[in-house]
Amino acid sequence: MLRIRLGKNFWTSKYGLSILGVVLCGLLTGIGIFTYYYVVYGRMIDQRLSGNFFQHTTGIFTQPERVFTGEAMIAASLTEYLQHSGYTVNQDTTGAGYYIVHGNSVEIYPGKASFFRGGNALRIDFSGREIHLIRSIATGAAMEDAQIEPELLTNLFDQSREKRRPVHFDDLPKVLVNALLAAEDKRFFEHPGFDFVRVLGAAWADFRHGGKAQGASTLDMQLARSFFFSTERTWRRKLAETMVALELEHRYTKKQIFELYANEIYLGNRGSFAIHGFGEAAEAYFGKDVREVNLEEAAFLTGIIRRPNHYSTAEQHLDRAVEARDHVLTAMAEDKLITPEQVAAAKKHPLHIVRTGMDGSAAPYFVDIVKDDLLDHFSEAELLSQNYRVYTTIDPALQKATAAAIDIGMKHVDTLLARKYALWRKELAKKHSTEPVPQAQVAMIVMDPKTGEIKALAGGRDYGQSQLNRALAKRQPGSAFKPFVYAAAFDDAVENKGPILTPITTVVDEPTTFEFDGKEYTPDNMHEEFLGTVTLRDALTHSLNVATVKVAEIVGYGKIVEIARRMGLDPGIQATPAVALGSYDMTPLQVAAGYTAFANGGIRAEPMFLRSVVDAEGTMLEKNEPHSHPVLDPRVTYLVTSILEDVINKGTGAPVRAMGFTAPAAGKTGTSRDGWFAGYTSNLLCVVWVGFDDNRDLGLAGGSSAAPIWEEFMKRAVAMPAYQNTQGFTPPTGVVTVTIDPESLELARPECPVTRQEVFIEGTQPTEYCHLHGGNPIGAIPVASWLSRLFHRDKKN
């Protein structure tokens, strides 16, 4: 056997040089491969992260928040709100503004990109648990109330419906940082990008169980996988992740890497959105800012990283949520980051995870409308990469009231439908059918009738299940359209173009077949009940179909279409008898916009949802102002409003009063295949639609389906400081109020046993006194009665 001596001359021998050559070639090859991939991955990092380190995206904000002297609030609550709106402490680093705390006082300085664009600096003093004094910093003047920065609704999302709420490392509470370290990478701040001890342990475990890479990833490696690679678990992928992790460590500080991870990590789906980052996850799972997260919440958020989809419905499977939380709490205790006593206390606290249905504050259907409008002016890439601030008209308090009203009201609708379909279920059971009972949907729009600003909007009961915005879907409004018919009737008295109709003009409510364009049209009343001779006030108050079609016939169907189009309703409305009963499709938003004219003295306010868009430097990119224009004489709209007050007080909308709503209001029910209620106070207008997506008949009247939701919302709204000053409706110049006898419909005499007040456009009121109680000369016929007989010849079957 040949024996080779390894002496000092070996490495100069033929064999030694060969070995050195092989080693050198291998080393050069390794260096070359490493350099190649280092450059390749470096370019990947530059392309993915350069210039977009903090994941800027466009934020959607509410209307400005109002604070007032005596309001229940503490300084900490105000500063948390300001932080949530993008403000920083002591100096402006974002353009949104900053605040300074001086004991029990908070000074607020709006930034160049804020809603106030550097103005409206305030000092707010607190005493106990309320606001003691509000003062302008610029003038020193005391103020009873003031506006502060709007609240952040949400950040925009991309086509894959990924949502993020960027946070900085300093925004993360220490308890969340510790929970993440304990759950995922306890030596993160010591290792160079990979943990050699964990890698060896994982390799040994994989050798024993089949060779799949398990459990060795550091935060750097997880971040590399999230940004650049798939979730495939192989050692080749692990090597690539390790190289990128090393390069990240070379390029960024530990805090920057931690921050990137905290903003990028996938944390499950909430509704239809993929949640990325702890900022968005804190809002999605707990409805709070990440700065406010406590120990058990932090443990849950970090505990779901390994199996995020398993915990996406944690509110429905609290055992899963508790499992994720307790696992991290135990790990934190093992690392001595918390005490056993803290673990025991945290495990006793219930996790209050918000449901994934309609978010009471984020207004998702409203945000969709805003985004669609923004995409007409900006590219999606621009909106997702620039730190734009979009200021809207939404009122977060009213939006939450909307969500609460829908939640309560739709449970009531579900109960009514369950009873209605009880027999239907039995029939299905006989046929061995498993077809489910359909679930009704809802839409709701809340507007300021004077400005047209949309204050709250819901396009369905669960955005996670369906993103179809029913506020923009066309449906038949039914009797909710009738006020436009009566507006056309009263408008003739102003224009002197046709018969003069007043609230006491009479028509006969009885079964009638109308002829139009060679065809017959035979409407029916609800429950097939007919009241005989009725006034126009009673016909609208009790939503009488036949009587309303007779009014439309007198006025002219073309006139009604003209008025409806003038008031901004759908252009597809046609001049037929069916128009009187709301048989032509229009959206709830169109109905709401049309009703602004009734609530605003004949002036239609165009719907408005976006106020302004500014960039990070405060440059105004887009600005909108309220827009309105007169469409009806204010005397006409007051007469309609007066009757719609009766609808709520004693007509088809009476359930609103029966449920306890007492503020002055006017409104109208609507029943087609769906249920409607459109109503308003002096400062708010609200339209509610309830129905099925497949257009099947709801089988419930608007008074029992939509009206209770309207009432639930309105009683919350009028209790708010901004909307509690609800006034009665004041008649405009040119409207007179007279006392009449309701039996003769003539001016009341002292002898009349019953009297009531009625409103008229001046010049159309009755001039004769009651001939039934006090004795008019025989043969005297009151003017109003004569006009009624002249123009209201009744058609009978």
Q: DSSP string spanning 274-339? A: EEESHHHHHHHHHSS-GGG--HHHHHHHHHTSSSGGGGTTTTT-HHHHHHHHHHHHHHHHHTTSS-
| pLDDT attached to residue 117 | 85
Residue range 527-542: mean pLDDT, rounded: 93
Whether the predicted pLDDT of 214 surpasses 60: no
Residue 794 confidence class, pLDDT cut points 50, 70, 90: very low
Lowest mean pLDDT among 359-368, 411-420, 741-750: 359-368
pLDDT at 234 over 70: no
Q: Determine contact, residues 244/44, Cβ cutoff 8 Å.
A: yes
- Tell me the sheet residues that pair with 148: 65
Q: Which residues pair with 506 in a beta bridge?
A: 535
Rounded to whole angstroms, the Cα distance separating 592 from 388 reads 30
State the pLDDT confidence band at 793, using cuts at 50, 70 and 90.
very low
| 754 falls within a domain | yes
Considering 318-327, 520-529, 679-688, the range whose residues carry the highest mean pLDDT is 679-688
pLDDT at residue 572 above 80? yes
Give the domain extent around 340: 165-348
In-domain check, residue 639? no
In a domain, 744, yes or no: yes
> pLDDT at position 458, please?
96
Is 652 contained in some domain?
no
Average pLDDT over the chain, rounded to whole?
85
Mean pLDDT of 320-335: 91
β strands within 656-721, DSSP E: 666-671, 675-680, 685-691
Is 115 domain-assigned?
A: yes
- Please give the share of the chain, as a percent, with pLDDT higher than 70: 84
Contact partners, residue 678, CB within 8 Å, separation at least 6: 480, 591, 592, 595, 667, 668, 670, 685, 686, 687, 688
Name the most confidently modeled range: 46-60, 207-221, 482-496, 618-632. Answer: 618-632
- Per-residue confidence (pLDDT) for residue 260, from 0 to 100: 86
Pair 205, 253 in one domain? yes
Burial class (CB in 10 A: 0-12, 13-18, 19+), 350: exposed
pLDDT at residue 361 in the model: 64
204 with 123, same domain: the answer is no
Q: How confident is the model at residue 742 (pLDDT cuts 50, 70, 90)?
A: very high
Q: How confident is the model at residue 785 (pLDDT cuts 50, 70, 90)?
A: very low
Examine the domain organization and report whether 743 and 768 are in the same domain.
yes
User: Could you tell me if 785 and 755 lie in one domain?
Assistant: yes
Q: Are 164 and 261 in contact (CB under 8 A)?
A: no
Q: HSE on the CB side for 667, CA within 13 Å? A: 35
Residue with the bigger pLDDT between 439 and 208: it is 439
Q: Which of 83, 114, 149 is the last residue of a domain?
A: 149
Q: Is the pLDDT of residue 779 over 50?
A: no
Percent of the chain topping pLDDT 90: 55
pLDDT of residue 791: 42
Q: Residue 568: inside a domain, yes or no? A: no
Contact 755, 769 (CB under 8 A): no
pLDDT at 32: 62
Q: What is the pLDDT of residues 132-148, one digit of tens each?
A: 999 999 999 999 999 99
Stretch among 87-96, 313-322, 378-387 having the lowest mean pLDDT: 313-322
CA–CA separation, 674 and 582 (whole Å): 12
pLDDT higher than threshold 80 for residue 774? no
Mark whether 201 and 247 lie in a shared domain.
yes
50 pLDDT above the threshold of 60: no
- When pLDDT is cut at 50, 70 and 90, the band that residue 218 belongs to is confident
Give residue-wise pLDDT tens across range 344-378.
Answer: 999 888 888 877 654 556 789 999 999 999 999 99
CATH of the domain at 104: 3.30.2060.10
In the listed set 149, 183, 214, which residue is the last one of a domain according to the structure? 149
Pair 680, 599: CB distance under 8 Å = yes
Q: Is the pLDDT of residue 776 over 50?
A: no
Assess if residue 238 is contained within a domain.
yes
211, 107: one domain: no
pLDDT at 47: 57
Q: Is 777 a residue whose pLDDT tops 70?
A: no
Q: What is the pLDDT of residues 709-732, one digit of tens each?
A: 999 999 999 999 889 888 999 999
Tens of pLDDT, residues 663-677: 999 999 999 999 999
Q: 195, 239, 190: which is closest to 216 by C-alpha?
A: 195
Residue 792's pLDDT band (cuts 50, 70, 90)? very low
Residues 6+ apart with CB under 8 A from 777: none
User: Which residue has better confidence, 438 or 70?
Assistant: 70
Residues 106 and 187 in one domain: no
209 pLDDT more than 70? no
Assign 786 a pLDDT band (cuts: 50, 70, 90): very low
Give residue 784's pLDDT.
43
Kindly state the average pLDDT of the residues 756-768: 94
Q: 286 and 223 in one domain?
A: yes
Considering 316, 348, 380, which residue would you say is the last residue of a domain?
348
- Looking at residue 19, its pLDDT comes to 74
**Residue 696 to residue 725: CA distance in whole angstroms:** 40
How many domains, in total, are found in the chain?
3
* Same domain (yes/no): 113, 215: no
| Residue 772 within a domain | yes
193 and 278 housed in the same domain: yes
Domain identity same for 170 and 74: no
Look at residue 589 in the predicted model and tell me its pLDDT: 97
Structure tokens at 150: 């709007």
- Residue 192, domain CATH: 1.10.3810.10
Considering the domain architecture, whether residues 138 and 286 belong to the same structural domain is answered as: no
